[in-house]
A and B are shown apart, each in its own frame.
Chain A
Amino acid sequence: MNPQFIMDGLIAGAIIGLGAVGVTLTYSILRFSNFAHGELLSWGAYLALAVAGALGFLSAGLTKPIAPFSFGWALPISAVIAIGLTGLLALAVDALLFSSFRRRGSAIIIMVMASFGASLALRSLLEFLFTSKPAYFTKALQIAMKLGGGLRATPDQLLMLGVALVAVVTVHLLMTRTDIGRAMRAVSENPALASIAGIDVRRVIRTVWFLGAALACVAGIMSGLLIQIRPYLGHDLLLPLFAAAILGGIGSVPGAMLAGLIIGLCEALAVQAVGAEWRAAVSFVILIAVLLVRPRGLFGKAS
C-alpha cells in the first residue's frame, strides 16, 4: 500500500477539521445545524481570490512566488482580508436571517430550513459572480519533496498543515484561557444562566459567527490552494464537516480537528483500498456509526 494516502488524508482532514471546528462552535451556541456553513468555505476562497486578484492588479510584484511556495505575498495579505470579509458575511446573514428567527423563538427546524435557503442563495450568488468554472490562486507548479518513509509533500501542503495546526491551537487557547472563550462555553451550556452571570449573549453569538466564518475561510483557502476553487467547494464538504463535528463531540474544538483528521485519513485510505467513488460514503458510514454507538462523540459531554 502506498503510504502517500497519509499525506492526502492529513490535508483533506485538516480542511475538514477547520470547517468542523466552525460547525461545532456554531452548533453548540446557536443550537441548530447550519447547513450554510459549507458556503462560508467557498465564499472565503473566492473572497481571497478576488482580493488577491485586485492586489496583483495594483502591484504585479505581489504575485511573484515567495520561494519555496507557489504563491506571492498577494495570497497571505488577501487571506487576512478575506477572513475579515467572510466573518462580516456571516454576521450579515445572521442579522438578516437568523436573528429575526431567534427573536421570535422559532423552532430549530425553521432555523435549519432557513440555513438551507441561505446555502442555496449564497452558492447561486457565487456561481453568478464567478461562474462555475474552477479557478486557481496560482498556476505555478510545485515539486513535491521527499519526507522519508515514502511520504512526499509540496511546501504549500506543509505550510497549510502548519497553518491549520496554529489555527486550531489558537482557537483552543481562546476557548479555555480567555474571557470571551469562557463566555462562549457558558452560553453553550446555559444561555439564560450566562445572561444573569453578566455575559452579553448577543455579543457571544456574534463572536461565534465571526470565528466560525474565519476558520471556514482558512479552510476554503487551503482547499483552493491545494486543490482548486469551485462554487461547490464547501457544499461538497458538508457531510464530512458534520460527521467530524459529531465524531469529535459537539462543542469540542480539539475533538472536531482530530475527528476531521480521522475522517480525512479514512477517506484517503478508502480511495486507495476500494476506489475513489467510495470517498463520499466514508463520512456517511462514520456519521451513522457514531450516532448509533457513541452519540456524544469522542470528547462530547454526556447529556
Chain B
Amino acid sequence: MTAPILSTHGLVAGYEPDLPIVRGIDFSVSSGELVVLLGPNGAGKSTFVKAIAGLVPIHAGTMMLNGRDITHVSPHRKVAEGLAFVPQTENVFATMTILENLQIAVAHLPKAKRGAAIEALFARFPDLAARPSRLAGALSGGQRQMLAVARALALDPPVIILDEPSAGLSPKIVSEVFDMLKAINAGGVTVLLVEQNVKAALAIASRAVILAEGRIAHEGLPEELASDPLVGKIYLGTAHGHQGAPA
C-alpha cells in the first residue's frame, strides 16, 4: 500500500462544543483508492466528511492531506491544496448560471488558464456545455449532480469526497453517476464516497468502511462486506446482500 494521501487521527467533531457526533475516527485513504463510507442513517457519515472539508468544528484529533497537517486550515485553503468536496444537498449555486458556477470553481487558477479549464470541464460534461447560461437552480437532479462534480474537479484535485451523490436520482442516472465516479478514479483521482446505495457502491469500491454512532465499526474489502450477512444486517440495514431502503 502506498502512503496515505488523506488521513484522520482520533478525529472528534460536532456542531455543538459538548456534543461530539464524530467520536474518535482513525482513518486513512491511500493514493488511487476508491473508498466507500457506509453506515446507517445518523451514523455521522456526513458530519465526518464535512469535518474533513472544514465545515464542522473539530473538537480533537488531527487530519493530514499529502503529509501536511490540515486540521485547522480554512475550507477555501483546503480546496486550493487539492481537497475537493461535493456535499449531499445544496451543492451548486442555484441562483447562478452553469458558467458562473464553473467560473467560481476555477477562480484559483491564473486568469490565462481559466478558459481552458472550463472548456475541459465542458468537454467532459457535454450536458452542461449545451446551454451554459442556464440557471443551476433550473437543472434536473442528475444535471445538478454533474455540475457539482464538475465544480469539484475544476482544479484537478488529487482527492475528491462525495456525500451521497446518487441520492434522489432515477436508477438510470444513478448508474451514470457511478460510471462517472469509476472513470474519475481510473483517471488517478483518489475518491472517498459516502453512499446509501450499498450494492452499487461496493461494486466500484476498492475498500469499504462502515461507520456507526460516530465510530468506525467495520473495515474491509467490498466483497467481504457484501457477503457478510451479519455486517449487512447490523450496520447497513440490509439482509442477504440486498440493498436497504435509501433514506
Contacts and interface: CB of A to CB of B under 8 A. Distances in A.
B94 interface: yes
A185 B90 contact: no
B95 A195 contact: no
Nearest to B151: A197
A197 B74 CA distance: 12
Contact of B75 (A179, A190, A195): A195
Given A182-B100, A186-B96, A189-B95, A198 B79 contact: yes
Interface string B60-101: 000000000000001110111000010100111111100010
Contacts of A195: 54-55, 74-76
B96 A199 contact: no
B96 A185 contact: yes
Size band of the B side of the interface? 20 to 34
Contact of B107 (A183, A185, A190, A301): A183
Interface residues of A, number: 18
Given A185-B96, A190-B90, A190-B93, A197 B55 contact: no
Contacts, number: 67
- A interface SS class: helix
A192 interface: yes
B156 to A, nearest CB: 13
B104 A182 contact: yes
A196 interface: yes
B76 A200 contact: yes
B103 A182 contact: yes
Interface string A191-217: 011111111110000000000000000
Contacts of A194: 93, 104
Given A193-B87, A196-B53, A196-B55, A301 B95 contact: yes
Contacts of A197: 76, 79, 93, 104-105, 151
Interface in B147-203: 151, 155
Contact of B76 (A179, A185, A199): A199
A200 B79 CA distance: 11
A196 B79 contact: yes
A192 B163 CA distance: 15
B53 A198 contact: no
Nearest to B77: A200
A193 B95 contact: no
Nearest to A185: B96
B113 interface: no
Interface of B: 53-55, 74-76, 78-80, 85, 87, 90-96, 100, 103-105, 107-108, 151, 155
8 contacts: A185-B95, A186-B96, A193-B91, A194-B104, A196-B53, A196-B87, A197-B76, A198-B155
Given A183-B107, A189-B93, 7 more contacts: A196-B87, A197-B104, A197-B151, A198-B79, A198-B80, A199-B107, A301-B95
Interface of A: 179, 182-183, 185-186, 189-190, 192-201, 301
